[in-house]
């Protein structure tokens, strides 16, 4: 009789969407997985807080229909019924009036809007050429194919080619509203990529909150909470994972390991980084976010899901989300959830301020757009992210390319997160890819069936 084969064992560090997707793929392929998570919940930067009947998405806000890998995972898990389509209505304020753009009808919407002048609308057509050229290059696995478009900032390109008005009222709100960054920092490739991502007739919201995907995955996987991994080292063909947990120090041996963490944490742990990879991760500046979420007694008089103030309308407030419009069940009947996001510099300067002060300042900033809602605040959450996403800047996509040139797909320690592209789809795609590499390793070692 041949002895039973030991299952190939894989440690996964981090129970965000990258780690959970990798663990799910590997477990489904018959490998033995164990997920180490330092927090006491799964989901990382997709976090939903349920409070007094309100559901607050305090990390990631929304999913796009272009998130094909995430949508396939949601279908595989059987939770698609919790995902709701919403009309992508965006409001852009100018001179005291909110101008509506319906992204499901971008051409009709742009032709009809009084947000920008007729001349600006005509000039906007010039963006079609780089958009079409970059269309099939940008993807959620890597933004390195956009390296050709990362030498110039959006502000410089758009002001020269399309005019100040488009920079202020179209490019600015898109970039500020989605990335909390400015068109003076982000490369033109980022605008092309954003337009590509949003070219869809709807956006998605989860009725149970954005974290429902991570929660579902975590209940079907062996996740160990409050386990902070402090070292990952290779020893005699095995990988040792060590750290601190609720019972004190731990140290365990595995056949392979996936470190699914964003740059700062990854730099501390990954044992096998190349020079270019180290350089890229060091240079990846974290974009901080302090966001405020309001549970309101009644909805403000706004029917757009997203209101994106341009810089000239408000320097610091970048994004107002009517979360109660994202999906049913997000607020008790007749009530509302509104989230406020701010530009990175404001968040950095106010990171340590006490919650009540931040709330008052946020309400004051939002007054010009949603009215004075202070008397309607039933409950609220102030969320602080020391690392929300990478701050995009010139040269970023080229550095991603350099990073990728040093990936060793056959190493028993693989690492990734959302930093080679952007958002939840980048995290889920990265988790899938990392799992495929580890599975191939198991096949080569003869421990996993093809
Ligand atoms: C404010 C905000 C708004 C966003 N909006 C959107 C949006 O609208 N749409 C979108 O698609 N994306 C959005 N994102 C980005 C999206 O949330 C991320 O791309 C995605 O969640 C990243 O997942 P991840 O698993 O790679 O990383 P993370 O979610 O950061 O997961 C890493 C996990 O590792 C754990 N960990 C860290 N160190 C250790 C350690 N030493 N040991 C063990 N565990 C550890 C952490 O606790 C965490 O759970 C937003 C993010 C933020 C913060």
* 4: confidence class by pLDDT, cuts 50, 70, 90: low
Per-residue pLDDT, 433: 98
Q: Please say whether the dihedral angle defined by the alpha carbons of residues 81, 83, 84 and 85, taken in this order, is positive or negative.
A: negative
Q: Which atom from ligand 1 is nearest to the alpha carbon of 269? A: 41
335 C-alpha to ligand 1 centroid (Å): 29
Show contacts of 130-139: CB within 8 Å, 24+ apart: 130/188, 130/192, 131/192, 131/195, 131/196, 134/189, 134/192, 134/193, 134/196, 135/196, 138/189, 138/192, 138/193, 138/196, 139/421
The pLDDT assigned to 138 comes to 81
Mean pLDDT check: name the lowest of 28-37, 358-367, 438-447.
438-447
pTM of the model: 0.96
- Common-topology check for domains 9-45+210-284+393-444 and 84-206+286-390: yes
Would the pLDDT of 203 be above 80?
Answer: yes
DSSP state letters, 373-411: -GGGEEEEEEEEEEEEEEPP-TTHHHHHHHHHTT--TT-
Q: Per-residue pLDDT averaged across 108-119, rounded?
A: 95
Query: 263 CB less than 6 Å from ligand 1?
Result: no
As assigned by CATH, the class of the 84-206+286-390 domain is alpha beta
> CA geometry: angle at 418 spanning 417 and 419, to 5°?
95
Nearest to 402 by CA among 262, 242, 274: 274
Nearest to 64 by CA among 51, 55, 74: 74
For residue 44 and ligand 1, the question of a CB distance below 6 A is answered with yes
Burial 384-413 (b: 16+ CB within 10 A, else e): bbebbbbbbbbebbbbbbbbeeeeeeebbb
Per residue in 66-101, pLDDT (tens digit) is 999 999 999 999 999 999 999 899 999 999 999 999
**In the prediction, which pLDDT does 5 show?**
67
Nearest CA to ligand 1 atom 49: 44
pLDDT at 442: 83
State the average pLDDT for the chain. 95
Task: Write down the pLDDT at residue 446.
Answer: 73
Is pLDDT at 113 greater than 60 in this prediction?
yes
Ligand 1 atom nearest residue 425's Cα: 11
Evaluate if residue 400 carries a pLDDT over 70. Answer: yes
Name the closest-CA residue to atom 26, ligand 1: 417
Distance 198 CA to ligand 1 centre (A): 21
Task: Tell me if 17 CB under 6 Å of ligand 1.
Answer: yes
45 in contact with ligand 1, CB cutoff 6 A:
yes
Residue 448 has pLDDT above 80, yes or no: no
Residue 245: both structure tokens together: 């947990």
C-alpha closest to that of 424 among 89, 140, 35: 140
pLDDT in tens, 96-108: 999 999 988 888 9
Q: Whose CA is nearest to atom 14 of ligand 1?
A: 60
Pairing between β-strand 306-307 and β-strand 317-322 as defined by DSSP bridges: antiparallel
How confident is the model at residue 104, as a pLDDT? Answer: 87
Indicate whether residue 344 lines ligand 1 (CB < 6 A): no
Q: 9-45+210-284+393-444 has which fold?
A: FAD/NAD(P)-binding domain (3.50.50)
Question: Percent of the chain scored above 70 by pLDDT?
Answer: 98
Looking at the DSSP bridge assignments, the partners of residue 229 are 243
What digits encode the pLDDT tens for the residues 286-307? 999 999 999 999 999 999 999 9
Ligand 1 atom closest to the CA of 385, numbered from 1: 53
Residue nearest to atom 2 of ligand 1 (CA): 59
Domain boundaries, the chain: 9-45+210-284+393-444, 84-206+286-390
Which two three-digit tokens encode residue 103? 């992204």
363 has pLDDT over 70:
yes
């Amino acid at each position: 009789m041949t002895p039973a084969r030991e299952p190939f064992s894989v440690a996964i560090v981090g129970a965000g969407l990258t780690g959970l997707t990798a663990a799910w793929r590997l477990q489904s392929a018959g490998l033995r997985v164990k997920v180490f998570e330092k927090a006491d919940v799964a989901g990382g930067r997709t976090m939903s807080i349920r409070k007094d009947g309100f559901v607050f998405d305090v990390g990631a806000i929304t999913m796009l229909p272009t998130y094909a890998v995430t949508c396939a995972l949601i279908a595989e898990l059987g939770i698609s019924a919790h995902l709701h389509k919403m009309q992508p209505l965006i409001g852009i304020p100018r001179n005291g009036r909110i101008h509506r753009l319906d992204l499901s009808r971008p051409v009709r919407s742009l032709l009809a809007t009084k947000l920008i002048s007729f001349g600006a609308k005509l000039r906007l057509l010039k963006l079609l050429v780089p958009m079409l050229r970059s269309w099939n290059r940008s993807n959620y696995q890597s933004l390195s194919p956009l390296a050709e478009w990362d030498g110039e900032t959006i502000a410089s390109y758009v002001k020269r080619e399309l005019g100040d008005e488009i920079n202020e009222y179209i490019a600015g709100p898109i970039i500020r509203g989605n990335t909390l960054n400015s068109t003076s920092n982000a490369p033109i490739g980022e605008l092309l990529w954003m337009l590509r991502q949003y070219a869809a007739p709807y956006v998605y919201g989860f009725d149970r909150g954005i974290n429902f995907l991570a929660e579902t995955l975590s209940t079907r996987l062996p996740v160990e909470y409050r386990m902070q991994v402090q070292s990952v080292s290779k020893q005699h063909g095995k990988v040792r994972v060590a750290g601190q947990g609720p019972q004190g120090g731990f140290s365990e041996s595995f056949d392979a390991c996936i470190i699914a963490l964003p740059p700062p944490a990854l730099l501390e742990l990954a044992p096998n980084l190349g020079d270019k990879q180290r350089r890229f991760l060091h240079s990846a500046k974290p974009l901080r976010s302090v966001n405020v979420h309001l549970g309101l007694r009644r909805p403000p008089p706004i029917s757009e899901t997203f209101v994106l103030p341009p810089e000239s309308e408000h320097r610091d407030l970048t994004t107002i989300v009517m979360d109660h419009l994202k999906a049913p069940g997000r607020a008790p009947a007749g009530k509302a959830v509104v989230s406020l996001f701010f530009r990175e510099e404001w968040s950095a300067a106010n990171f340590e301020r006490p919650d009540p002060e931040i709330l008052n300042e946020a309400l004051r900033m939002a007054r010009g757009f949603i009215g004075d809602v202070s008397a309607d605040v039933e409950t609220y959450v102030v969320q602080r992210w020391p690392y929300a996403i990478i701050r995009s800047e010139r040269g970023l996509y080229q550095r991603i390319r350099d990073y990728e040139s040093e990936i060793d797909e056959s190493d028993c320690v693989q690492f990734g997160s959302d930093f080679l592209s952007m958002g939840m789809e980048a995290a889920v795609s990265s988790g899938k890819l990392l799992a495929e590499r580890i599975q191939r390793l198991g096949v080569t070692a003869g421990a996993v069936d093809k």
